[in-house]
Amino acid sequence: MSGLSRRRFLRTTAAGLATIPAAGTLESRLAEATRAGRAASAGSADDPLGVRDDFPVTEEQAYLNTASVGPLPNAVRDALHAYADEKMVRRNTSAGRQAIGRARTRFASLFRADEDELAFLYATSGAENIIVSAMDWRPGDNVVIDELHFTTTFVLYRELERRAGVEIRIIPHTDGVVTPEDFAAHTDGRTRLISVAWVSNRNGFRYDLPALADVAHAHGAYLYADAIQAWGTFATDLHAEKVDFACGNGYKWLHADFGCAPFYVRQEHLEWMTSDRYGHRQVAESLPGHRFRLKTSAEKLEYANPAYGPVTAMDAALEFIEKVGLEPIAKHTHALAAELRQEAEALGMELFTPPNNPSPIVSFHHGLEPERLARALAEEGVAVTFQEEGRLLRAAVAMFNNRSDVDRLVGVLAGLV
């Protein structure tokens, strides 16, 4: 056992070992001790959700950077390890197929969707490309987006503009906010699609999807939400959100890995939705003469074998999140992010994240020398993201973060202002 693993084990089990009977295998006793230790730490100020020992990153860093890449919890690492072992010796050749079935069921349950509304893509950008490919565009149609969206969307629609003569309407933000009224003012009878980042990667602003869906649907348009900064940060019912399509990868707030992006397609759109490419996994039935009946659920968008390693990680990550609970995660992270926002404002930072914003992301223009600030944060073991050539600092509060992590960031800022 490595020093790092030994320290983690001792800290995790110390609270529970005294109550564990001696009977049973070593493995079962260790597992029970770990569960007891987690239960003992849950609710403490140092570990409000009882998960810090599940994330080894907490031993070395104040990691406030999950909006960039979410670290793996032990359970996901262990699942990937087991997958690699199985693939190495080929004892269970169906393990990957079983994992994708479980992951689809877990995701549907967590986010209140039907299983046949879910496809697993390789990347978030794949979803918006599929949607654009499936729609019949005509010159003079328009797409409505806003300044807070991710780069991929601008690249995609500029290319659509060039190829199909579609107008791209980009709404400016006001103090980090874009409202449904702003979208309504830019939407008309030629609008085919409204596209938003459900939670903006730039400042964490969270959009009101039902209100935006009403705007889109009133004009016969669709609503797409890039959910990569949303999945795993709050509880939601995709049907109640009224969004037509949503997609996000697993490597951020779901704490899975790159290469598995759940794509939600509302049931009513499955009949006309077509894939932008074709392959063997879309076959529902083989017919004579090399003809085929293709799947009709969202699985028809999965044209090739999935990346079974990332799917395995997704399955384990969703199981982990199920146990912690999306509502407790949101309650803890949103409150701590709000405290961070208030303290950054008190230090004179120019906030880009609006107040009373239900997301775990906080962005602000720090007004300091970027390289000096980056060095100071690195020396204190604080991980964040810098944007806008270093002028904008983005911090992300995840389920494993605590008050001490935020204090380390605020302490560095206070020492430089």
User: How high is the pLDDT of residue 43?
Assistant: 63
Q: Residue 42 has what pLDDT?
A: 58
Sequence letter at residue 309: G
* CATH number for the domain running over 95-321: 3.40.640.10
- Token pair recorded at residue 37: 């230790």
Of residues 250, 266, 259, 254, the one with CA closest to residue 298: 266
What region, left, alpha or beta, does residue 381 occupy, with left being phi > 0 and alpha being psi -120 to 50 degrees? left
43: alpha, beta or left? (left if phi > 0; alpha if psi -120 to 50): left
Are domains 95-321 and 327-416 of this chain identical in fold? Answer: no
Q: Quote the Cα angle for 197-203-206, to 5°.
A: 45
Q: What is the pLDDT of residue 9?
A: 40
Q: Which CATH superfamily is domain 327-416 in?
A: Aspartate Aminotransferase, domain 1 (3.90.1150.10)
Residue ranges per structural domain of the chain: 95-321, 327-416
Mean pLDDT by 10 residues, the chain (417 residues): 41 38 39 46 80 96 98 98 91 81 97 98 98 96 98 96 96 98 98 98 98 98 98 98 98 98 98 96 97 97 95 98 98 98 97 97 97 97 97 98 98 96
Show the 3-state SS of 262-318. Answer: EEEECHHHCCCCCCCCCCHHHEEEEECCCEEEECCCHHHHCCCCCCHHHHHHHHHHH
* Angle ∠(345,342,254) on CA atoms, nearest 5: 115
What pLDDT score does 92 carry? 74
Amino acid at 169: R
CA torsion sign for 106, 109, 114, 117 is negative
**Global pTM value:** 0.88
